[in-house]
A and B are shown apart, each in its own frame.
Chain A
Amino acid sequence: DQQVKQNSPSLSVQEGRISILNCDYTNSMFDYFLWYKKYPAEGPTFLISISSIKDKNEDGRFTVFLNKSAKHLSLHIVPSQPGDSAVYFCAASARGDFGNEKLTFGTGTRLTIIP
């Protein structure tokens, strides 16, 4: 049961253009969403997050949008740069009695920025 889904395994975008990565979730208890970036041979690194009380969070070139009714979130990168080429993972969690519960990850989208 894949509770967090990234339906696009790969995406190619021209340098300077906008990259849009999508993620869908099924568990309505999720209230905190994150994006991670992973380079080969390295652990994932945290990029940006959003809680369910917001519908947008922006950090520099990165913006995450949350549509709770559609159970959908997206990551926008603008302008895209060659260093953004990596695998991007969407993750979600719910807040339990002892803090945030475990992170559930999607399968990832490989983003390639074309110079």
Chain B
Amino acid sequence: GAGVSQSPSNKVTEKGKDVELRCDPISGHTALYWYRQSLGQGLEFLIYFQGNSAPDKSGLPSDRFSAERTGGSVSTLTIQRTQQEDSAVYLCASSSRSRGEAFFGQGTRLTVV
């Protein structure tokens, strides 16, 4: 497809379980972002990949969160030992080097019960 694709669209998991969220960016986009939006809150930056540079992980809230981007394309955000406060919509976005606007996917709604 032409847009950013995220899967799954919804995920319900039990507290303490690990989850993996997937993002397929727009083809050719060198930058990839993960954000999350908790209920009633703004967009919280998590991690940023730009080309072959070391990712900016400054937004990851704890060491339970990690992300990787394979081959400069698909990215996976992993949350280990999920907690209830991890419940949020996780949004992925990508952008090209020359243009700053990022294009977002539909998000993955994560619910930890």
The verdict on A100 contacting chain B, using a C-beta distance below 8 Å, is yes
Name A43's contact: one of B48, B53, B105 (CB within 8 Å).
Answer: B105
Known: A100-B31, A105-B45. A43 touches B106 (CB 8 A): yes
Known: A45-B104, A49-B101, A105-B35. A100 touches B95 (CB 8 A): yes
Known: A100-B100, A102-B33. A107 touches B42 (CB 8 A): yes
Contact A46 B31 (CB under 8 A): no
**Inside 8 A of B112's CB, which chain A residues have their CB?**
none
Interface range for A: 20 to 34
Contact B50 A105 (CB under 8 A): no
The verdict on A11 contacting chain B, using a C-beta distance below 8 Å, is no
Question: A residues 94-115 with Cβ under 8 Å of B?
Answer: 96, 98-108
**Which residue of the partner chain A has the closest CB to B101?**
A46
Name B100's contact: one of A32, A42, A45, A107 (CB within 8 Å).
Answer: A32
The verdict on A21 contacting chain B, using a C-beta distance below 8 Å, is no
**Inside 8 A of B43's CB, which chain A residues have their CB?**
44, 89, 105, 108
**Which residue of the partner chain A has the closest CB to B97?**
A99
Name B91's contact: one of A44, A46, A96, A108 (CB within 8 Å).
Answer: A44
The verdict on A93 contacting chain B, using a C-beta distance below 8 Å, is yes
Q: Give the distance in Å from the alpha carbon of A107 to the alpha carbon of B33 in the complex.
A: 17
The verdict on B60 contacting chain A, using a C-beta distance below 8 Å, is no
**Inside 8 A of A102's CB, which chain B residues have their CB?**
33, 45, 48, 50, 56
Provide the B54-72 mask, 1 if CB < 8 A to any CB of A, else 0. 0010000000000000000
**Inside 8 A of B101's CB, which chain A residues have their CB?**
34, 46, 49
Name B51's contact: one of A41, A43, A98 (CB within 8 Å).
Answer: A98
Q: Which 6 A-B pairs have the closest CB atoms?
A: A43-B104, A107-B42, A99-B97, A102-B48, A105-B43, A100-B100
Can you sample 9 A-B contacts with CB below 8 Å?
A43-B104, A43-B105, A44-B43, A98-B50, A99-B31, A99-B51, A102-B33, A103-B45, A103-B102
